[in-house]
């Protein structure tokens, strides 16, 4: 598990959400894998349990995880995720900003297309 950066400008809650999303999207956390309980993760990260609970609720709202009453919180299966147009719009805006920045850094349209194609083909892991 990771440790939140206490010096970061990003809130601890946002760091937890981002890290768990990254681990789900990269396949480190597999569909139906059980996440640590709120108490366990709170102890591991030395973070207030309410912060962990808020992060889990946000991830559930975004369909990355689901909660089974009395059993815990689990990673959602990709095919079970409900399309959320607001979240898609947010992700497309991130992509637009990324492409704009790559253009600014001198990448051609063809280079950007090749990089995106590589990501789609499975090269999503960070370099």
Segments of the chain assigned E as strands: 65-68, 72-75
Each residue's pLDDT tens digit in the chain (127 positions)?
678 888 889 999 999 999 999 999 888 999 999 999 999 999 999 999 999 999 999 999 888 999 999 999 999 987 766 666 777 788 889 899 999 999 999 999 999 999 999 888 875 555 4
Q: Are residues 17 and 68 in the same domain?
A: yes
Residue 1 lies in a domain: no
Give the distance, in angstroms, between the CA of residue 58 and the centroid of all CA atoms in the same chain: 11
Question: What pLDDT does 127 receive?
Answer: 42
Q: Are residues 68 and 99 in the same domain?
A: no
13, 23 Cβ separation under 8 angstroms: no
Q: Are residues 97 and 76 in the same domain?
A: no
Q: Are residues 26 and 68 in the same domain?
A: yes
Q: Are residues 58 and 109 in the same domain?
A: no
Per DSSP, the residues of 49-91 read HHHHHHHHHHHHHTTSEEEETTTEEEEPPGGGPPP-HHHHHHH
């Amino acid at each position: 598990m990771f440790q939140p950066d206490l010096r970061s400008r990003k809130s601890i809650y946002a760091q937890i959400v981002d890290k768990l999303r990254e681990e789900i999207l990269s396949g480190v956390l597999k569909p139906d894998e059980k996440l640590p309980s709120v108490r366990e993760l709170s102890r591991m990260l030395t973070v207030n349990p309410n912060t962990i609970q808020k992060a889990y609720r946000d991830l559930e709202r975004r369909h990355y995880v689901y909660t089974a009453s009395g059993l815990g919180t689990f990673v959602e299966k990709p095919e079970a995720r409900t399309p959320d147009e607001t979240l898609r719009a947010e992700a497309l805006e991130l992509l637009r900003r990324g492409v704009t920045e790559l253009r600014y850094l001198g990448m051609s349209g063809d280079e950007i297309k090749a990089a995106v194609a590589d990501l789609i083909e499975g090269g999503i892991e960070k370099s």
